[in-house]
Amino acid sequence: MVMDENRQKEKINFYGALGMLVFSLAFFFCSVFFISAVKNAEWYSEPKLFPVIISVGLMVCSSIYLCQNRKGYHLVAEDWARVRIYFKGIEFRRLMIAIVLLALYVFVLLGLRIGSFHLPYEGATFTYLFLNMIIFRKKGFAVWKIIAISLFLSVVVGYGFSSLAKIPLP
């Protein structure tokens, strides 16, 4: 059991380190080729100096980490089955819903304009709170309570921050 857990850890670490190595290579490439040089500046004061040093540091760390977990590269059928079970599981579905709802709130609902209609902050917040609470609620938790809580919280947060504390809201 412990052996199996250790192997799982090694696999996760290996692929995590691989991702970091790819990131460091991309960062190195961008630092070298996409940062413009300053006219008459010496090499040691160039804007790209620090990013290049950092990308090398990242590369060294991720390479060592990759080597430390090299045994984890091999994926067997059992691993794929485990991944499939996770993606089909209820936890993953709930996670995706939570991410999508937050994305909806940040990218769509806040500041939404359709023609002359402008969705106020309270409306966007109410929608976000209501959808979250209705989807993730405990069995048997009354819908009217969720509506009341969402409405109360969105009005209190909106009024409290914008009118009382004078803190600008999105």
The three-class DSSP label of residue 120 is coil
Residue 35 as a binder of another protein (CB under 8 A): the answer is yes
Cβ closer to another protein: 30 or 75? 30
Residue 11 as a binder of another protein (CB under 8 A): the answer is no
Cβ closer to another protein: 76 or 108? 108
User: Which window, 75-83, 89-97, 112-120, contacts another protein (CB under 8 A)?
Assistant: 89-97
**DSSP string over 52-82:** HHHHHHHHHHHHHHHHHTGGGGPPPHHHHHH
Shortest gap between Cβ of 170 and another protein (angstroms)? 5
Residue 16 as a binder of another protein (CB under 8 A): the answer is yes
Closest by CA to 20, choosing from 63, 69, 72, is 63
Q: Which residues pair with 114 in a beta bridge?
A: 117
Residue 111 as a binder of another protein (CB under 8 A): the answer is yes
**Tokens 């009354």, residue?**
142
